[in-house]
Amino acid sequence: MMPTLRQIRYFIATANTGQVSQAAMDLNVSQSAITTSLKSLEEMLDASLFTRHSQGMALTYEGNQFLQHARYIMSAVEEAMRIPSRSHEKIVGKIRIAMSYTVAGYFAPPYLVRFQRSFPQVEIQLFEAQREQIEEGLASGQYDLAMMLTSNLVNQEDIAFEVLLSSRRRLWLGTNHPLRQKKHISLQDVADEPYIMLAVDEASNTAQRYWNQTSYRPNVVFRTSSVEAVRSMVANGYGVSILSDMVYRPWSLEGRRVEVHTLEDSVPGMDVGIAWNKKKELTPAEVAFCEFVRLTVVAGINS
- Quote the pLDDT of residue 85: 52
Kindly state whether residues 231 and 219 are assigned to the same domain.
yes
Kindly state whether residues 241 and 125 are assigned to the same domain.
no
Average pLDDT over every residue of 211-224: 95
Per the model's pLDDT, the better-predicted residue between 144 and 25 turns out to be 144
pLDDT at 95 over 90: yes
- Quote the pLDDT of residue 80: 66
Among residues 110, 156, 147, 107, the alpha carbon closest in space to that of 127 is found at 147
Q: Which of 34, 64, 85 is the last residue of a domain?
A: 85
- Quote the pLDDT of residue 303: 42
Kindly state whether residues 20 and 100 are assigned to the same domain.
no
Task: Please report which residue ranges of 92-147 form alpha helices under DSSP H.
Answer: 101-106, 108-118, 131-140
Kindly state whether residues 279 and 147 are assigned to the same domain.
yes
Kindly state whether residues 99 and 235 are assigned to the same domain.
no
Of the candidate ranges 75-84, 135-144, 236-245, 288-297, the one whose mean pLDDT is the lowest: 75-84
Among residues 164, 167, 142, the alpha carbon closest in space to that of 290 is found at 164
114: helix, coil or strand? helix
Kindly state whether residues 122 and 144 are assigned to the same domain.
yes
- Quote the pLDDT of residue 198: 96
Kindly state whether residues 62 and 199 are assigned to the same domain.
no
Kindly state whether residues 17 and 73 are assigned to the same domain.
yes
The strand pairing partners of 98, in sequence order, are: 127, 146
pLDDT at 127 over 80: yes
Average pLDDT over every residue of 194-215: 93
**Cβ-count burial of 109 within 10 angstroms (0-12 exposed, 13-18 middle, 19+ buried)?**
middle
Kindly state whether residues 49 and 113 are assigned to the same domain.
no
Q: Could you give the number of structural domains in the chain?
A: 3
Average pLDDT over every residue of 243-262: 90
Question: Which band of pLDDT confidence, cut at 50, 70 and 90, is reported for residue 249?
Answer: confident
> Are the beta carbons of 46 and 8 closer than 8 angstroms?
no
Residue-number span of the structural domain to which 227 is assigned: 169-268
Kindly state whether residues 278 and 131 are assigned to the same domain.
yes
Q: How far is CA 283 from CA 89, 276, 280, in A?
A: 15, 12, 9
Supply the CATH number for residue 72's domain: 1.10.10.10
Average pLDDT of the chain? 89
* Number of CB atoms found within 10 A of residue 253's CB: 11
- Quote the pLDDT of residue 289: 93
pLDDT in tens, 35-49: 999 999 999 898 999
Question: Which band of pLDDT confidence, cut at 50, 70 and 90, is reported for residue 300?
Answer: low
Question: Which band of pLDDT confidence, cut at 50, 70 and 90, is reported for residue 59?
Answer: confident
Q: Which of 40, 60, 85 is the last residue of a domain?
A: 85
pLDDT at 84 over 80: no
Kindly state whether residues 54 and 126 are assigned to the same domain.
no
Quick one: how far is CA 298 from the chain centroid?
12
- Quote the pLDDT of residue 215: 94
Quick one: how far is CA 142 from the chain centroid?
27
Question: Which band of pLDDT confidence, cut at 50, 70 and 90, is reported for residue 88?
Answer: low
- Quote the pLDDT of residue 61: 83
Q: Which of 85, 114, 140 is the last residue of a domain?
A: 85
Supply the CATH number for residue 184's domain: 3.40.190.10
pLDDT in tens, 106-117: 999 989 998 998
- Quote the pLDDT of residue 190: 97
Kindly state whether residues 11 and 95 are assigned to the same domain.
no
Question: Which band of pLDDT confidence, cut at 50, 70 and 90, is reported for residue 217?
Answer: very high
